[in-house]
């Protein structure tokens, strides 16, 4: 399988003691979407002018949970690479759910997409963190590249959908909610 070859290449050329220690931490940031949930809650409750953005992050995560973890993973039921190549020593606990799509990646890019679309001030950092979480799933041999790509596409869709639905249905009823992206200084 070509995808195992990509993972084997990453294992042979990218692994070292530093990244072996860092990547489990990075992937842990995406466990159960907790980083993104906390960020959404913090924005919702502590950034007065950004409350709608925080709410949209949480809505996008709900969409990601439903579409990715509850529907697609069970419908596709793809085996994980670490279950095909059991000779690989995992640096994290062996996941018990199906592989496609990557839930870590979907949640990360759902939140990052909302923050990008709303031009939140820390949006570029969240995009880098989302990309690192996505790569960590490959580095740790727990997802195929197409799992991560599928999670990325699904996450972007969930984030986009949350923002579009919010702007169409919630913004007119919530005065503090932005109806269009904020303008940034040149």
> What is the residue extent of each domain of the chain?
2-173
In this predicted structure, the answer to whether residue 176 has a pLDDT above a threshold of 80 is no
Average pLDDT for the chain? 91
In this predicted structure, the answer to whether residue 75 has a pLDDT above a threshold of 70 is yes
Helix then strand then coil, in percent of the chain rounded to 5, is: 75, 0, 25
pLDDT confidence of residue 185: 53
Instruction: Please say whether the dihedral angle defined by the alpha carbons of residues 20, 22, 25 and 26, taken in this order, is positive or negative.
Output: negative
Residues contacting residue 156 through CB under 8 Å, at least 6 positions apart = 109, 110, 113
In this predicted structure, the answer to whether residue 186 has a pLDDT above a threshold of 60 is no
pLDDT confidence of residue 30: 92
In this predicted structure, the answer to whether residue 67 has a pLDDT above a threshold of 60 is yes
Do 40 and 61 touch, CB atoms closer than 8 A? yes
pLDDT confidence of residue 13: 93
2-173 — its CATH code?
Answer: 1.10.606.20
Structure tokens at 59: 């809505």
pLDDT confidence of residue 100: 95
End-to-end CA distance of the chain: give it in Å, rounded. 48
Predicted TM-score (pTM) of this structure: 0.89
């Amino acid at each position: 399988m070509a995808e195992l070859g990509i993972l084997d290449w990453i294992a042979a050329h990218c692994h070292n003691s530093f990244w072996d220690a860092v990547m489990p931490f990075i992937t842990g940031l995406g466990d159960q979407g907790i980083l993104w949930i906390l960020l959404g809650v913090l924005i919702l409750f502590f950034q007065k002018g950004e409350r709608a953005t925080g709410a949209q992050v949480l809505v996008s995560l709900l969409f990601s949970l439903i579409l990715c973890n509850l529907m697609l993973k069970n419908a596709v039921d793809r085996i994980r690479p670490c279950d095909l190549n059991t000779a690989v020593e995992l640096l994290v606990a062996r996941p018990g759910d199906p592989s496609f799509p990557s839930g870590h990646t979907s949640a990360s890019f759902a939140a990052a997409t909302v923050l990008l679309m709303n031009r939140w001030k820390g949006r570029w950092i969240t995009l880098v963190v989302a990309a690192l979480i996505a790569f960590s799933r490959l580095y740790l041999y727990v997802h195929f590249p197409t799992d991560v790509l599928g999670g990325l596409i699904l996450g972007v869709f969930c984030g986009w959908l949350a923002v579009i639905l919010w702007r169409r249905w919630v913004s007119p009823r919530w005065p503090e909610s932005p109806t269009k992206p904020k303008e940034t200084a040149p």
